[in-house]
Structure 1
Amino acid sequence: MNDEEKEKLYTDFYEESMAIMEKYDYHSLDHFERTPTSDDRKYFLQAVESSIKRKPDESYIVLEPVQEKFENKNENKIAWFFLAFGIGVGILLVLMIFPNYKVNDSEILSQENETEKDSLRDMLEYLLPRGNHMITSILLNLNILIFLIMIFSGVHFFYPDGPSLLEWGANRRIETLAGQWWRLVTNVFVHAGFPHLFFNGFGLIISAIFVEPILGRIRFLILYIFSGLCGSLASIVWYPNTISVGASGAIFGLYGAILGLVLMDAFPRDDKKNVLIMIVTFILTGLLWGLFGGIDNAAHIGGLVSGALSGIILFQFGKKD
């Protein structure tokens, strides 16, 4: 985006804000409500800081004007509560009126439930650090733990803003080159919302299944951190003002390592083709998705290349040992 486009966006935003202020009725307010810990409160405090020229502390109270009558505030909530309650009662009545079903259907449902329980049990057991997925489980749990701490501190569950991500260790050229080099690593464990965490967790598990058992715990951890670091470096080289977070650079490093391990005949001959098709599909899907914007393809490519090279080197060291 060039300077003219930025100036136009700023002018449009300013004019839109002024139009809203001119139309706002300041004399029909009913009451004020305290703003809870949220993105809105954060931005209000930033505005206060720019006005009073000092940073406000947590004791500051932000009040927002409300035009709706206070006594009418919960009417819609009550209506929705009774609607949901009515739907639940209706479902129970239907089940009571039509309780019978075939024995075969019952057996099928029972088998399906057992399968679902087994799948859920396997997923939960993968969170326990042990066996061939010791480091993978630790990394997965660490990502989840950091995300939960972020959420409980007030960061948005689905759409965290840029300042929040930077506070938690996101990577951006200006901060990193100013001496905050730790961001090259910390950003790998920070995620921009639950969907981001979920898909990266899925990618981590799928790729680590093939890599950690072959390389072993120490070499796998070295590969993961090194790929994430290279992805972060590629990001600040490629993008001048992009906030980068997430484990995708490290995960693409695992993808690259799988390619390297295929070339080194680390997998059984009968499995090589299927592994190659699967991982190439993941790589192409991730890179194509990154073309739509909002995705750090620089980190993907940096992690992919570094992971392929380091995966081959670490595998060779393992053979010597």
Structure 2
Amino acid sequence: MSQLQAKFRQIIIPSLLTVISFIGLYTLLHWLLFIKLELFPLDEELLLFWLPFLLSWVPVLVWYRHKIKMVAANGTREFVLQLFLALSMAIPTIVVQHYLVSAAGTLTPLQKIADISNAPKTKYYSLKDFYIDKTNIGVVNDADISGRNNENFNMHIYVVLPILDKAADTASHQCQAWYTIHYFKTLSNNLSGDEKEAAFKTFANETELKFDKDSMKTFTYLERVPVSEAGTAFQKAIKESKSISASNAPVLMPKFGTFQERNSSPIWMPLSFLLFFGIWACIVVYAPLREVPADELDTDMHTIKERHEHHEYQGQQQYQAPARPRKPNYSVLKIRKGYVVTPMLIYINVAVYLIMAFSGLGVLAFRSDDLLKWGADFRPYTINGQWWRLVTSMFLHGGLMHVAMNMYGLLFAGSFLERLLDSKKLLIVYMITGIVASLASIAWHPETVSVGASGAIFGLFGVILAFLISDRKNEFSKGLLMNMLFWIGFNLMLGLNEGIDNAAHIGGLVSGLIIGYFLAPGMKRKLEDLRQGRMTGTSDEN
């Protein structure tokens, strides 16, 4: 069998079936659970983007990790292959979900808004006779920071208005649905606090003029506001409308194009699939098959004869059964002797997130004003006596994905270092690098709300990097060093995206490198003892 045939039979065709099955299964479950049955609400961004992206890594890591090793010459190429296979599942799935949400929604015609309570619950409505009450409104003001370098200051005003059948219904102090408006404006984040406050007042005055001139009658149809950050803001605005009792009424946003224009072109679904899976398949086709070490062989892909030939290739005269694949280590979150700090830090960070989520502050993302109340780092507050924010901000996160990604990094770095440092030293390093990262953040960003453990985690990776550099003569450390440099560079590149505090990352990384330089000799001695089997450290604990 030629190499090309082997690649198609063992890698490309199975992965093609997996990608198609993943897209079909996720789309089916999305339609059934959240569109047809509406079993429970889920944040739209999580459902349409983050879940497809994260779940796509499950088959990659569970079923294709060993297959990819056959065409991956090193750890970096292995990660690239894993990434493109995951993207070939995630990107088409994301495109399909966005099309599904709009295409599956039906338009329900209403003569008057009171009919909505008896009409089928749908995503879209047309409305013939109505009155928008512009007196009993609810308003919420908000602001956030965006841009690759946090250069944008975004101002938001969320407004809700009761939708009534006629003007005389205002006396009832009840409504059947809410009409929503979102006003926003972006300015430079380089403005001072006083300048931003003045700019927001000007923006509010401009918004009031627009609001007074708007008849609220030019929309074509109405769409239900999904569970989202904007939806949360509109719910808060409803609570501000004290004179109207209709907290459970549908919240609707106006749409001004034709109903047929709501869908994007379906051609993007097959194109996105062909693009990303095509790149993945081309990499596999042109990458040479390699001899996989015996302890990496996947018994589902290699026959006894192939494994025997592999050992003969290595100069072994007699067949030896390959080592069994390592079982997943589920004890990495278990507190035990010599391994305390890493799981405890993860538990504390996750607990803080859960408390905030169950307090009704959100799930996927938290608002900046709520984060400030809980102890986020913010230069105007921190340098005016609230220095405790340098520490508390290390245990706060902006939302679900933020805490999940940081805890993954903490688990990797902490479990590696706690074997070479004692728990006390690890905690000291974590706190020092985290505080340095917080200081770097407020030094670089004068008006940015900053939260997250990533600065301290980058500090731990800085210590690991310093150790690997000092131990680079060892082949294992040399290989891990190259992967570590790629990982750090990749994450710093991601930090160029908006909303990511690269100043904190760099501050933590540099401080970790400095501390690691002094800790490296002791870490090398500890590792040498572990290699020679003279010590029974945390690796021997169950």
Fold shared by both chains (TM-score > 0.5): yes
Which of 146, 163, 182 matches 2:352? 146
Query: If the length of structure 1 is used for normalisation, what is the TM-score?
Result: 0.66
Q: Distance in 2 between matches of 1:166 and 1:67?
A: 27
Q: How high is the sequence identity, in percent, across the aligned residues?
A: 37
| SS of 2:360 mapped into structure 1 | coil
Change (3 A) 1:269 1:251: same
Question: What's the counterpart of residue 158 of structure 1?
Answer: 364
Query: If the length of structure 2 is used for normalisation, what is the TM-score?
Result: 0.41
| SS of 1:170 mapped into structure 2 | coil
Question: What's the counterpart of residue 20 of structure 1?
Answer: 211
Question: What's the counterpart of residue 176 of structure 1?
Answer: 382
Output aligned runs, 1:167-316, within 5 Å.
Answer: 167-265=373-471, 269-316=474-521
Deviation at 1:151, TM superposition (A): 0.9
Deviation at 1:210, TM superposition (A): 2.2
Deviation at 1:317, TM superposition (A): 6.1
Output aligned runs, 1:29-68, within 5 Å.
Answer: 39=233, 62=242
Higher helix share: 1
| SS of 1:153 mapped into structure 2 | helix
Cα contact 1:171–1:245 (8 A) shared by 2 = yes
Cα contact 1:215–1:315 (8 A) shared by 2 = no
Deviation at 1:226, TM superposition (A): 0.7
Deviation at 1:12, TM superposition (A): 5.3
Query: Could you list the per-position Cα deviations for residues 193-242 of structure 1 after superposition, in whole angstroms to 9, with x for gaps in the alignment?
Result: 00000110111112223211111211111111111010001111111011
Q: In terms of Rg, which structure is larger?
A: 2
Q: Distance in 1 between matches of 2:207 and 2:501?
A: 31
Q: Distance in 1 between matches of 2:238 and 2:383?
A: 29
Q: Are 2:335 and 1:129 equivalent residues in the alignment?
A: yes
Q: Distance in 2 between matches of 1:182 and 1:304?
A: 21
| SS of 2:451 mapped into structure 1 | coil
Q: Distance in 1 between matches of 2:247 and 2:375?
A: 39
Q: Distance in 1 between matches of 2:405 and 2:243?
A: 38
Deviation at 1:129, TM superposition (A): 1.4
Number of aligned residues: 247
Change (3 A) 1:180 1:40: farther
Deviation at 1:140, TM superposition (A): 0.5
Structure 2 runs not aligned, ≥5 long: 1-187, 217-231, 252-299, 301-326, 527-542
Aligned-pair Cα RMSD in Å: 3.5
Question: What's the counterpart of residue 97 of structure 1?
Answer: none
Question: What's the counterpart of residue 108 of structure 2?
Answer: none
Query: Could you list the per-position Cα deviations for residues 144-182 of structure 1 after superposition, in whole angstroms to 9, with x for gaps in the alignment?
Result: 001011111121111211110011110011111111111
Q: Distance in 1 between matches of 2:236 and 2:478?
A: 52
Structure 1 runs not aligned, ≥5 long: 26-37, 49-60, 74-107, 109-117
Amino acid corresponding to residue 305 of structure 1 in structure 2: V
Amino acid corresponding to residue 275 of structure 1 in structure 2: L
| SS of 1:154 mapped into structure 2 | helix
Change (3 A) 1:253 1:3: closer
Deviation at 1:309, TM superposition (A): 1.0
Question: What's the counterpart of residue 53 of structure 1?
Answer: none
Cα contact 2:433–2:459 (8 A) shared by 1 = yes
Amino acid corresponding to residue 126 of structure 1 in structure 2: V
Farther off after superposition, 192-201 or 4-13: 4-13
Deviation at 1:23, TM superposition (A): 3.2
Higher strand share: 2
Amino acid corresponding to residue 463 of structure 2 in structure 1: A
| SS of 2:340 mapped into structure 1 | helix
Amino acid corresponding to residue 272 of structure 1 in structure 2: S
Cα contact 1:41–1:62 (8 A) shared by 2 = no
Cα contact 1:230–1:302 (8 A) shared by 2 = yes
Deviation at 1:295, TM superposition (A): 0.8
